[in-house]
Structure 1
Amino acid sequence: MKSAWFILSALIAGMLLGIAMDLVAPATGTAALPYVETAGLLWLKALTMTIIPLIVALLVTGITATADAARAGKLAARSVLVFMVGITLTGLMSLIVTPLLLRVFPMADATAAALRKGLGGAGEAPPSPSFADFVLGLLPSNPIAAAAETTVLPLIVFTTIFAFAITRVGPEQRASLSGLFKALGDTMLIVIGWVLALAPIGVFALGYALAVKAGVAAFGGLVHYVLILSVVGICCILLGLLLAWLVAGVPLPRFIRAMVPTLAVAISTQSSLASLPAMLRASEELGVEPKKADIVLPLAVALFRFTSPAMNIAVVIYVAWLFKIELSPWEMAVGLAVALAAALSSVSLPGSISFVTSIAPIAGAMGVPVAPLGLLVAVETFPDIFRTLGNVIGDVTATKVAAAGVDDEPAGETP
């Protein structure tokens, strides 16, 4: 929490300095731009260099962990199924709601142009590939070359196939390979932690460059982005409440009363993990047997990110809209598939790390620039509140649904 606010403060300070220099001494501000912006771009490059190995490691460990959970028993298997249905629903909702919000509440053309200029974007969208080219590009002829060229989509397809193949080998080989990629992921998290420790410096430099290029309009553009993402988050919360009522069969007043302490913890900590004890109490109040909640809720905290597909897709759609990139239906479909995989692979990651590692592969798969994420992560503090609220509502709802559909299993029984 402190780190997120520190990064946000650095962004605001950099933008205020850039605007002040542009107003008081524009020549000096412009002359300093190449040096300051280079520092920001260097930090951004250090951040992006971790994405490819981290995507591979987290995708493999996420899929193998999900498969192992599904093998653990009927309740765990049903829970995983409920999780998959839940994140698919939120992803589909975002594909509909986000473009609608951008159409109903568009950014002023001048503000959009200034923000695009500040982020280094061109107004012309790249040509869309034909359907045949798109399908042929899904499978890499050389996965290592795909990683080297940062062609994310074919790399994700290969990694997904590889991860599912790991789940089919013997227990010893599966444990060895899973351990290898777990170690790789943990190592890359340490590296990205070092990079994010320098985030205030990098974001300050990028904020300064944005303000010098775009002026005051940059603030308006970022506020518009935060509002759109926050509304998508509110839609996730409403969808979770609707599912609690219609699918879990809990009257809304009763569900909300039981969730009030959990929601208070979620707002104050912005952490699903920290909200776990409160969610266990809420589940018990809603009639879930404690021994079932003790299985499903920790599994939900580890694997289930109810809001992630919706809000991550919304970020990519927003960037595509800002840069005037037309997204085809199959690019939308692939973006949803990658968002689902990214949601499963963002196991227990801090918000600033999961923001980059979850959204970058979606953006890469949909042909949308990744560079703006270096600045947008600084304002993720506000949408992240709605992410956490939606996640805890989704966790408790999924627990109620999963527990209601499974009878007690004899001790030690496995499917």
Structure 2
Amino acid sequence: MSDTATSSETNKKKKSGLPAWATGFGAQVFAGLIIGLILGFVASGMSLQWLSDLLSGVGNAYVQLLRVMVPPLIFAAVVTSVANLRKVANAAALAVSTLVWFAITAFLSVLVGIVVALVMRPGVNSTVDPASAADPSRVGSWTAFIQSIVPDNFIGLSASTSDDGVSLSFAALQLLVISLAIGIAAVKAGDAADPFLRFTESFLKVIQVILWWIIRLAPIGTAALIGKAVTTYGWDALGSLGKFVLAIYVGLALVLIVVYPAVLKFNGINTIEFYKRVWPVFSLGFVTRSSMGVMPVTQRVTERSMGVPSEYASFAIPLGATTKMDGCASIYPAIAAIFVAQFYDIDLTLTHYLLIIFVSVIGSAATAGTTGATVMLTLTLSTLGLPLAGVGLLLAVEPIIDMGRTAVNVTGQSLAATIVAKRANILDQETWDQAADGIEAAVSPSQSTAKADVNA
């Protein structure tokens, strides 16, 4: 964004007489949430099917727009970042540090989940119908991670058929591996690969402009998605599982207001400023229920609002969107596993709790090939020797709790990348200082995507 454009926007805000936070993108997303709630309650209360269909259609279209950008973004960003990582002296140390902080926050999150489950005891005297117990259709496997990183084809694409036709999907982790391999090969190829790398960098800039267009539609997408959630899920499903849902959200809240602030403070990062910047990521994660769908926004905000160099963010954010899930892989399986044990009146020992911690810290990678909180829960239950049929007891409230889980997931992904960059002294303080309103500084299509002089 040019200085003239920036000055023009600043003058407009001053003329409005409103503070920046009240006119920025974060405020627009929040307004979308409120409008969506109102529309959802109107559609539900007045049985307006046309409004429900409209909210669902617009919401699904927005998530689809975000998801369609994930494969080209991963490829272009990772290949470009591998080439640019030559400018970073401690690239290997950054990768190790990323995994370490993924594990640290997962460990703290699962401890919160265990404590909440033991204090609130959601499975004791539960009135949930035992007949709803059922074995899951998919089960987590410790070999899934190895299988998931071996590409099925060159672009990590898979297809499935149904009565509705053929649907295509991609394996993000496979695409990440393919992109890393191509990037490394391009670097090894030397001068001969320069045209390819220049093309990839140019392609990335085009993708980022398209992302800017999609991101600016976020307030509309947020309104539609939260309205759809109100009309689709309602609160009838809570019923006998209300205590379980409350326990999940208490655990998620404790991670957001205790664990993450403590980790941020330990690393010298202002908690309030971090949450101001991450708000668009958090809110979109909540309404879309898709870490991968929000990944383009997470990466853009992490780079443009947090000041994390794109050379590093292009590696950390795609990896985090696949394997870093404090909500789905730590809090949820801990509380859900203890719920199942309490429901079936099975006493857990210290060994069981240690296994819950182990699975939560390590297991998210093991389920990367079949990503999902339910699959993660099956891995936990099978490791503990608890009945897998207990998964069926909780499916009724899956969409309601998945909103909160995903919001924590994407927040943790951005947090880990920011912490690692801060500790490695590569966080761009100037970008951080200028990004006072979350994504507002992240949505300029003309800003440079990378700092050319990144040094360890």
Query: Is the counterpart of residue 406 in structure 1 residue 400 in structure 2?
Result: no
1:218-242 per-residue CA deviation (whole Å, 9 max, x = no partner) reads: 9632222222222222223224531
3-state SS of the aligned residue for 2:326?
Answer: coil
Counterpart of 1:299? 319
Is the 8 Å Cα contact of residues 244 and 252 (structure 1) preserved in structure 2? Answer: no
Counterpart amino acid of residue 131 in structure 2: G
Q: CA deviation at 1:120?
A: 6.4
Counterpart of 1:235? 254
CA distance in 1, matches of 2:160, 2:361: 25
Counterpart of 1:317? 338
Counterpart of 1:246? 265
Which of 69, 84, 89 is the equivalent residue of 2:108? 89
Give the TM-score, by structure 2 length. 0.49
Counterpart of 1:396? 414
Counterpart of 2:308? 288
Question: Relative to 1, partners in 2 of residues 1:401 and 1:222: Cα closer, same or farther, differing over 3 Å?
Answer: same
Give the TM-score, by structure 1 length. 0.54
CA distance in 1, matches of 2:119, 2:161: 38
CA distance in 2, matches of 1:188, 1:325: 41
Counterpart of 1:270? 289
Is the 8 Å Cα contact of residues 115 and 218 (structure 1) preserved in structure 2? Answer: no
Question: Relative to 1, partners in 2 of residues 1:116 and 1:375: Cα closer, same or farther, differing over 3 Å?
Answer: closer
Q: CA deviation at 1:311?
A: 1.2
Counterpart of 2:74? none
Is the 8 Å Cα contact of residues 245 and 251 (structure 1) preserved in structure 2? Answer: yes
Output the aligned Cα RMSD: 3.9
Counterpart of 1:5? none
Is the 8 Å Cα contact of residues 91 and 336 (structure 1) preserved in structure 2? Answer: yes
CA distance in 1, matches of 2:119, 2:132: 24
Equivalences, count: 261
Which of 128, 135, 140 is the equivalent residue of 1:115? 128
Counterpart amino acid of residue 316 in structure 2: V
CA distance in 1, matches of 2:133, 2:286: 34
Counterpart amino acid of residue 392 in structure 1: V
Is the 8 Å Cα contact of residues 276 and 298 (structure 1) preserved in structure 2? Answer: yes
Counterpart amino acid of residue 230 in structure 1: Y
Question: Relative to 1, partners in 2 of residues 1:222 and 1:190: Cα closer, same or farther, differing over 3 Å?
Answer: farther
Question: Relative to 1, partners in 2 of residues 1:368 and 1:278: Cα closer, same or farther, differing over 3 Å?
Answer: same
Write out aligned runs for 1:19-34 (5 A). none
Q: CA deviation at 1:329?
A: 0.4
CA distance in 2, matches of 1:120, 1:287: 47
Structure 1 unaligned runs (5+)?
1-70, 122-151, 164-175, 198-216
Counterpart amino acid of residue 392 in structure 2: G
Counterpart of 1:360? 378
Counterpart amino acid of residue 310 in structure 2: P
Counterpart of 1:370? 388
Question: Relative to 1, partners in 2 of residues 1:259 and 1:187: Cα closer, same or farther, differing over 3 Å?
Answer: closer
Question: Relative to 1, partners in 2 of residues 1:376 and 1:249: Cα closer, same or farther, differing over 3 Å?
Answer: same
Is the 8 Å Cα contact of residues 305 and 344 (structure 1) preserved in structure 2? Answer: no
1:290-313 per-residue CA deviation (whole Å, 9 max, x = no partner) reads: 332222222221221122222111
Counterpart of 2:240? 221
Is the 8 Å Cα contact of residues 128 and 393 (structure 2) preserved in structure 1? Answer: no
Q: CA deviation at 1:375?
A: 4.2
Is the 8 Å Cα contact of residues 107 and 360 (structure 2) preserved in structure 1? Answer: no
Counterpart of 1:330? 351
Which of 368, 382, 391 is the equivalent residue of 2:400? 382
CA distance in 1, matches of 2:113, 2:380: 14
Counterpart amino acid of residue 111 in structure 2: L
Counterpart amino acid of residue 80 in structure 1: L
Is the 8 Å Cα contact of residues 98 and 416 (structure 2) preserved in structure 1? Answer: yes
CA distance in 2, matches of 1:187, 1:115: 40
Counterpart of 1:212? none
CA distance in 1, matches of 2:310, 2:150: 31
Q: CA deviation at 1:248?
A: 3.6
1:309-331 per-residue CA deviation (whole Å, 9 max, x = no partner) reads: 22111111011111111100011
Is the 8 Å Cα contact of residues 233 and 383 (structure 1) preserved in structure 2? Answer: no
Is the 8 Å Cα contact of residues 288 and 400 (structure 1) preserved in structure 2? Answer: yes
Counterpart of 1:179? 150
Counterpart amino acid of residue 248 in structure 2: L
Is the 8 Å Cα contact of residues 133 and 392 (structure 2) preserved in structure 1? Answer: no
CA distance in 1, matches of 2:103, 2:351: 20
3-state SS of the aligned residue for 1:326?
Answer: coil
Question: Relative to 1, partners in 2 of residues 1:311 and 1:324: Cα closer, same or farther, differing over 3 Å?
Answer: same
Is the 8 Å Cα contact of residues 304 and 343 (structure 1) preserved in structure 2? Answer: yes
Question: Relative to 1, partners in 2 of residues 1:191 and 1:318: Cα closer, same or farther, differing over 3 Å?
Answer: farther
Is the 8 Å Cα contact of residues 325 and 364 (structure 2) preserved in structure 1? Answer: yes
CA distance in 2, matches of 1:120, 1:240: 33
Question: Relative to 1, partners in 2 of residues 1:246 and 1:381: Cα closer, same or farther, differing over 3 Å?
Answer: same
